[in-house]
């Protein structure tokens, strides 16, 4: 992930993902996590541990099946951002962003969708002392691609709302809700329902301009997103 500021108002970006699908590693930890917090488990108790299986079946026939470990280059994304005017307050900020995702990944390995997507969003934040409130939303115009192309929704909406608290100069805590409308037309919750996830975590600021972000995401709308997602990001500025 790369971001470059052309001036005080404009920014360009490039994301080059590497996607890997492997057998489960954290099944035991996730089970303990759900039991400890009394969280719903969906279909997990009915499935074997260390199982990798993406399957979509219609009338007894597999429309899509991936049950072997794969990895490779994902869909590359270009972005551009513009900082919107918000008056004279230094505690308020807003930005308009556009995105273009290219089909550089392999749809058969689920490292890409097989289509180009175009998106636009607007996000803002308001700060007061150590508290930071942020949120926004946008629209994604999706191509049909090669993964269940006849079920693909052409337009997807997404939004986020969250808060951060700077406990110390070197530590921020964050909570965030992320949601989106369905990507596919289907009676299955996993494909045909909108989704909301809860993200909890924080950021450690250390060694000059380096920041380590650690998040855990939970599917509060069960079956519409992975049970749990662990997010690590190490970033710096030049």
Domain tally for the chain? 1
pLDDT tens by residue, 183-198 = 999 999 999 999 999 9
pLDDT tens by residue, 132-150 = 999 999 999 999 889 999 9
Look at the alpha carbons of 218, 219, 225, 228 in this order and tell me if their dihedral is positive or negative: positive
Q: CA 219 to CA 190: how far, in whole Å?
A: 11
Cβ atoms within 10 A of the Cβ of 209, count?
A: 10
209 lies in some domain: yes
pLDDT tens by residue, 154-190 = 999 999 999 999 999 899 999 999 999 999 999 999 9
101 lies in some domain: no
Name the residue range of residue 229's domain. 159-238
232 lies in some domain: yes
- The 3-state secondary structure of 72-121, one letter per residue: EECCCEEEEEEECCECECCCEEEEEEEEEECCCCCHHHCCCCCCCEEEEE
206 lies in some domain: yes
pLDDT tens by residue, 103-118 = 999 999 999 999 999 9
pLDDT of residue 42: 67
pLDDT tens by residue, 30-77 = 778 778 888 766 677 777 778 888 999 988 899 999 999 999 999 999
174 lies in some domain: yes
178 lies in some domain: yes
213 lies in some domain: yes
Q: Is-contact 204 170, C-beta < 8 A?
A: yes
Instruction: Give the predicted TM-score (pTM) of the model.
Output: 0.86
Q: Is-contact 82 7, C-beta < 8 A?
A: no
In the chain, DSSP assigns E strands to 2-5, 10-15, 18-21, 54-58, 61-66, 70-73, 77-83, 92-101, 117-128, 131-141, 155-168, 171-180, 195-206, 210-219, 228-236
42 lies in some domain: no
Retrieve residue 165's tokens. 């608290």
């Amino acid at each position: 992930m790369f971001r470059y500021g052309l001036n005080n108002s404009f920014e360009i970006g490039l994301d080059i993902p590497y996607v890997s699908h492997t057998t489960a590693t954290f099944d035991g930890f996730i089970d303990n996590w759900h039991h400890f917090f009394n969280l719903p488990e969906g279909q997990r108790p009915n499935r074997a541990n260390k199982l990798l299986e993406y399957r979509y079946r219609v009338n007894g026939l597999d429309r899509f099946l991936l049950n072997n470990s794969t990895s490779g280059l994902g869909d590359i994304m270009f972005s551009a951002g513009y900082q919107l005017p918000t008056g004279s307050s230094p505690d308020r900020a807003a930005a308009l962003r556009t995105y273009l995702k290219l089909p550089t990944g392999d749809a058969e390995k689920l490292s890409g969708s097989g289509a180009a997507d175009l998106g636009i969003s607007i996000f803002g934040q308001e700060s007061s002392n150590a508290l930071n409130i942020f949120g926004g939303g946008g629209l994604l115009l999706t191509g049909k691609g090669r993964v269940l192309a006849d079920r693909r929704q052409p337009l997807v909406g997404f939004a986020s709302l969250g808060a951060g608290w700077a406990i110390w100069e070197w530590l921020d805590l964050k909570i965030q809700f992320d949601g989106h409308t369905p990507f596919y037309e289907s009676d299955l919750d996993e494909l045909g329902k909108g989704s909301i996830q809860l993200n909890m975590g924080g950021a450690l600021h250390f060694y000059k301009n380096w920041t380590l972000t650690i998040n855990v995401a939970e599917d509060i709308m069960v079956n519409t997103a992975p049970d749990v997602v662990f997010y690590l990001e190490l970033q710096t500025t030049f």
